[in-house]
Amino acid sequence: MKFKVHMKDPDTLHDAIRDALKAQLRPTDLSEDEWERVRELRFNQVQKFADRWFEYGEYLTVELDTDAETCVVVPTKG
């Protein structure tokens, strides 16, 4: 049997990207304003990548197949 599950959580992806960037980026001699610009640029790059699977940054669809025992993330249409 195959079926799809549509999930919505408006903050999960946003928060996960922000947390990952915070853990990955290390301070240097940049000012706080410069750091904010770097974080925003990186955030937008990661968000664009995730848009292949997250519609509007909050909807995710997975397809489960009980016969094949798989669960696959369904790409967005756009």
> CB-based burial of residue 61 (10 Å sphere; 0-12 exposed, 13-18 middle, 19+ buried)?
middle
Per-residue pLDDT of the chain (78 residues; tens, 9 = 90+): 999 999 999 899 999 999 998 888 777 777 888 888 988 999 999 999 999 999 999 999 999 999 999 999 999 986
Burial state string for 19-34 with b = 16 or more CB within 10 A and e = fewer than 16: eebeeeeeeeeeeeee
pLDDT at 78: 63
- Domain extent listing, the chain: 2-23+32-73
Q: Could you tell me the pTM of the whole model?
A: 0.79
Q: How far, in Å, CA of 11 to CA of 48, rounded?
A: 16
